[in-house]
Structure 1
Amino acid sequence: MRVGVFYFPTDYGIDMSELGRALEDRGFESLFVPEHTHIPLSRKTPFPSGGELPKRYSHTHDPFVGLSFAAAATRKLIVGTGILLVPQHDPIVTAKAVASLDQLSGGRFVLGIGGGWNVDEMENHGARHATRFKQMREHILAMKALWTEEAGSFHGEFVNFDPAWSWPKPKQKPHPPILLGGETDHTLRRVVDYCDGWFPRPRDGFEPAAAVERLRRMAAEKGRDFSTLSITVFGAPADEATLASYQKVGIQRALLAIPDLGRDEILRHLDTIAPLARPYA
């Protein structure tokens, strides 16, 4: 198992290049970043965690730009989206961004994806809450065509283009790992259908062995080889015993949270949690 972090890459936080170097120096395997393209002031959609929407949600850097700075400043650090709101992105443009970042980082990119929760935000992009998962599937399949075929094409309800050249191709073959966030059985079916890994949050009742077995059972039902799938726990507790329990049942990665603080506080926090990552480095 590997231990990494996730961080909202805000304009008032730590520089992404410095953060990347600090993580690599301390033995962390990876850096994942969430995204929100913007936050509409209408705020018709309640924050899922309740209360006011935290400041960081409206101050995030573009994930591909932020991760490019972190990748350029490091040699081994894995960089990933956690998560990219796929229905809010044009698939042809996104395929190019993913492939470029994977090539330029030497094959160190992981594509964590999700459908999104903020109805106001996605509707500004022309996406609809009721069909976001169907649209996400088409976007991913269309991007796979561009990544893996010399002249990719796709024809669906939401994405439609004839054969086209799109270079560069990703460094990783056939493409960077695609991890899907969520905790429901619907999520697991989508993971088995068109993704490479599951990206759950350890919410109340999360039990590592049972989580692994859920994915194994779903893969068997759909005829998917379980060994081709991975599990990355998003927001894992900063607890030695919990991380050991993840490793014991075969979970491949755990991501610890970096708090929404300033540079100096973040570096001190990394020093505090670094001992948890070193045994898995």
Structure 2
Amino acid sequence: MQIGITMFATDYAIPPQELAVEAEQRGYESLWFPEHSHIPTSRRSPWPGGPDLPKWYYDTYDPFLALSAAAVVTKTIRLGTGVCLVVQRDPIYCAKEVATLDRLSDGRFLFGIGGGWNAEEMEDHGTVFATRFKLMRERIEAMKEIWARSKPKYAGDLVKFDEMMQWPKPVQKPHPPIIVGGGFPHGARRAIAYSDGWMPIGGRGGDTLAMLPPFRQLLKEAGRPESEVPITIFGVGMDGDALKRARDAGVSRVVFGVPPEARDKVLPLLDKGAALMRDA
């Protein structure tokens, strides 16, 4: 089982490039940064994590820029968006950003995606909350066409463009792994339908490990082996027993969450997680 790290990269936290170096030195498999372009002050949409939205949600860096900084100072650690809000991004530009980062990292990018929860944030980008998941699928399908073809075109209900050309193409073929974030059953069904992995948030929506047997049944019904849609449990605490349970349940990757703090607070947590990795 692989172990990753996620943190909201901000101007008051350990810089993303330093976090990447420290995580790679300790043997972590992957580093993940989340995304919010902004948070509208109306705050109509409830945060799924609790009553009070943490400040770092509106402080966080752009993930592609933060991961690019991490890419140039590392060699082995994989670099992921956890998650990229593709419903708020133009798919043509996003396809170029993904391919560029995959090139700059020599094929280490993991494309974690999600539909998001903040309706007001999406509205500022011209995205309709009710149809966001249809839009997410079409934008991913459109990006796959761009990455795979020399003269791509796409015609969906919400995404359309005529034949065009765009380079670079990603190092990873046919494209970097697309890993859908979300709970069970809806996020799981989306992952099975058009992605290369499923990424529920640990502890959100109930016992995550209890979701795995019905998820595997959905895979079976869809005719997809689990090796094609491996499971990443995202943003969990550093608990040795929980780590062993996840390993025994057949989870492919666990991503520990660390707070957006300075080096003196974050590095001991990286050490703690590394020790758990060795004992698991």
Alpha-carbon distance between aligned partners in 2 of 1:52 and 1:245, rounded to the nearest angstrom: 30
1:30-49 alignment runs, 5 A limit: 30-49=30-49
- Match of residue 264 from structure 1: 264
Output the amino acid matched with 2:8.
Answer: F
- Greater CA drift, 233-242 or 132-141: 233-242
Alpha-carbon distance between aligned partners in 2 of 1:92 and 1:279, rounded to the nearest angstrom: 44
1:268-279 alignment runs, 5 A limit: 268-278=268-278
CA contact (8 A) 1:27 1:278 kept: no
Give the deviation of 1:79 after TM superposition: 0.5
Alpha-carbon distance between aligned partners in 2 of 1:16 and 1:227, rounded to the nearest angstrom: 31
Alpha-carbon distance between aligned partners in 2 of 1:273 and 1:189, rounded to the nearest angstrom: 31
- Greater CA drift, 67-76 or 45-54: 45-54
Alpha-carbon distance between aligned partners in 2 of 1:219 and 1:200, rounded to the nearest angstrom: 15
Output the amino acid matched with 1:67.
Answer: L
Q: Deviation string for 1:92-144 (max 9, x for gaps)?
A: 00000001101110110001111011111000000011000000000000000
What's the C-alpha RMSD, in Å, of the aligned pairs? 1.5
- Match of residue 206 from structure 1: 207
- Match of residue 188 from structure 2: 188
Give the 3-state SS of the residue equivalent to 2:84 in structure 1: strand
Give the deviation of 1:76 after TM superposition: 0.3
1:132-171 alignment runs, 5 A limit: 132-171=132-171
- How many residues in Structure 1 have an aligned counterpart in Structure 2? 279
Give the 3-state SS of the residue equivalent to 2:11 in structure 1: coil
Gaps of at least 5 residues in structure 1 are: none
CA contact (8 A) 2:153 2:162 kept: yes
Output the amino acid matched with 1:136.
Answer: M
Q: Deviation string for 1:55-97 (max 9, x for gaps)?
A: 1011111100000111111110110000011100000000000
Percent identical across equivalent pairs? Answer: 48
CA contact (8 A) 1:179 1:197 kept: yes
Output the amino acid matched with 1:263.
Answer: R
- Match of residue 197 from structure 1: 197
CA contact (8 A) 1:87 1:136 kept: yes
Gaps of at least 5 residues in structure 2 are: none
- Match of residue 114 from structure 1: 114
Give the 3-state SS of the residue equivalent to 2:153 in structure 1: strand
Alpha-carbon distance between aligned partners in 2 of 1:17 and 1:135, rounded to the nearest angstrom: 32
Give the deviation of 1:35 after TM superposition: 0.7
Alpha-carbon distance between aligned partners in 2 of 1:5 and 1:154, rounded to the nearest angstrom: 35
Runs of 4 or more, structure 1, over 3 Å off, are none
Alpha-carbon distance between aligned partners in 2 of 1:262 and 1:40, rounded to the nearest angstrom: 27
Output the amino acid matched with 1:206.
Answer: D
Alpha-carbon distance between aligned partners in 1 of 2:47 and 2:228, rounded to the nearest angstrom: 34
CA contact (8 A) 1:34 1:84 kept: yes
The TM-score with structure 2 as length reference comes to: 0.95
Alpha-carbon distance between aligned partners in 1 of 2:230 and 2:50, rounded to the nearest angstrom: 30
The TM-score with structure 1 as length reference comes to: 0.95
Give the 3-state SS of the residue equivalent to 1:51 in structure 2: coil
- Match of residue 89 from structure 1: 89
Pair 1:235 & 2:235 matched: yes
Q: Taking structure 1 as reference, are residues 145 and 193 closer, same or farther at Cα in structure 2, changes over 3 Å only? A: same
